[in-house]
Amino acid sequence: MIKVLISKQGNFPVRVSAIKKKLVSFLTKSGIVSDAEVSIAIVNEKKMLEVGKKYLDDKKLHNVLSFTTSEVGDSFRYPPDGKIYLGEIVVCFPVALLEAKRENVLIDEKVYELIEHGATHLLGIHHE
């Protein structure tokens, strides 16, 4: 079973249950068939800037960042509970909102698009 944990830093209007369902479907179609877990944080600009500075040493405001477990301090190890910890995805809600307005899409669609993009990185698929 794939477990998706979503935390929101503020009262951001996103449909968490729909996002979880779509991400589980995406991960399953991508070949994740064992117990797996991914954490998602939906944050404001200040928090995203802190994350970027801490892990990337930059001052750019990113729309989404993703980190495998090894990137946040733990080296890979087989977990005793048998779950695969895919990593963490951080979405900056205010940036996503601006992009959604510019692209004329619903905010849930944009947030999910960014989460799926982050998930592809957790699966080892990277762009140039």
- Which residues pair with residue 66 across a beta bridge? 89
pLDDT tens digits for range 101-118: 999 999 999 999 999 999
- Reported as a pLDDT band with limits 50, 70 and 90, residue 94 is very high
pLDDT tens digits for range 46-93: 999 999 999 888 889 999 999 986 554 554 455 556 677 889 999 999
Query: 3.40.50.300, 3.40.390.30, 3.30.160.150, 1.10.540.10: which CATH number matches 2-122?
Result: 3.40.390.30
Supply the pTM of this predicted model: 0.86
**Taking each helix axis from N to C terminus, what angle separates 107-122 and 16-29, rounded to the nearest 10 degrees?**
40
